[in-house]
Copies of this chain bind each other. A is one copy, B any other.
């Protein structure tokens, strides 16, 4: 694969159009999509134009919205209209939701009336809601149908639907009563009623629910498609598993960025500019350095102790490092457990009690090592101070790190903003306080 992209860059540099055409024809759509995502807009659009019409749509659908926008921004006339007309309504709504408003209006204006109203309806749901991701084109069945009739309905109307494997069933008022799977329809005796094939306990969501919650529900309940209804239980569409998969992966990527104190941004890492990357990281770094001023204050307060025993200064990075690490481990564990639903906010006290003991065990292990390092490099009294501080700091750091994400969630803040760097910074200042109080007790300074 390494040779492939080198070739691709060479082909671009040599303006070798026939070579590029061969390259796109020889590679599967997801690999072509990957190269489009990495390339700048002009090269991406050039590659895209070399695809034949069917493959072009497949490749386009595999791009993330920012990369789709990058390609579309370079296309004109026919090519542009073809792509936008042929997209699935949910993909189109997501692209427009993330594109500049002027561009979105222009695209909407160019659509056929039916597609325009379908897309506009999806865009009416809040950002991040199920409505933005659902496929409105489903095959719904009336509950009085037989399995044989149901198969006929699928044959008649299935071509336009995004999926025909999960079929919502409705009553005479068009209200949702359950789903049947195409598998059961095909395997069943054709005369059996659809009602007999209904799946019990089947989960469903409303269009205004959070897409991430709906996606996690699908994963937990192991379903290929989740019915989406309005507040009166009428079927609006289906959330399909490939969209749920994307929602979860995007949510994980966002959480991971937040956990490192960076603002999440959509788009490909290699196509982001240096300024974009810096912008996504600078806000938290600035907040954290202002918070770190606390450590300067604590050290100023204990400056006399530092002057009396300079050796105390030697262990400052080691202690703040260990506390920060123990706190980060605990914070990361509870943020993830909250994200996948293993911990709930009301577990706060249980989590605090568990993690304080985990921290104590870790502190005891680190304290033993600290005692050795300190005794070898300085002397036993300082080493004792360092060792005792490690025990207290680790227990404190694990407790604070684990409970802060739960407190954040209780306050309605995304727990992932309780990043490892944030915990580290807060534990730094309190850790120093613990260190100097213990130094005062042990060394009398």
A28 and B299 within 8 A (CB): no
Q: Which residue of B lies closest to A252 (CB)?
A: B252
Q: Which residue of B lies closest to A281 (CB)?
A: B329
Interface flags for A155-172 (1: CB within 8 Å of B; 0: not) read 100110001110000000
Q: How far is the CA of A176 from the CA of B312 in the complex (A)?
A: 69
A109 at the interface (CB under 8 A from B): no
**How many A residues touch the partner, as a band?**
35 or more
Q: How far is the CA of A306 from the CA of B252 in the complex (A)?
A: 44
B322 and A358 within 8 A (CB): no
Specify which chain B residues have a CB less than 8 angstroms from the CB of A313 in the assembled complex: 299, 306, 313, 316
B158 and A342 within 8 A (CB): no
Specify which chain B residues have a CB less than 8 angstroms from the CB of A411 in the assembled complex: none
Within 8 A of B (CB), among A360-410: 361-362, 365-366, 369-370, 373, 377, 394
> Smallest Cβ distance from A24 to chain B, in angstroms?
12
Q: How many chain copies?
A: 2
Q: How far is the CA of A248 from the CA of B247 in the complex (A)?
A: 13
B155 and A186 within 8 A (CB): yes
Which residue of the partner chain, among B275, B306, B317, B342, contacts A432 with CB atoms under 8 Å? B317
A262 at the interface (CB under 8 A from B): yes
Within 8 A of B (CB), among A101-128: none
A165 and B183 within 8 A (CB): yes
What are the 5 tightest A-B residue pairs by CB atom distance, in nearest-first order?
Answer: A260-B332, A269-B337, A295-B317, A30-B220, A278-B361
- What are 7 A-B contacts with C-beta separation under 8 Å? A55-B201, A182-B183, A219-B249, A224-B241, A262-B329, A262-B333, A324-B424
* A residues at B contact (CB < 8 Å): 2, 28-30, 33-34, 37-38, 55, 58, 61-62, 151, 154-155, 158-159, 163-165, 182-183, 186-187, 201, 203, 217, 219-222, 224, 241-242, 244-246, 248-249, 252-253, 256-257, 259-262, 268-270, 274-275, 277-278, 281-282, 284-286, 288-290, 292-293, 295-297, 299-300, 303, 306-307, 310, 313-318, 320-322, 324-326, 328-329, 331-334, 336-337, 340-344, 346-347, 350, 354-355, 357-358, 361-362, 365-366, 369-370, 373, 377, 394, 420-421, 424-425, 428-429, 432
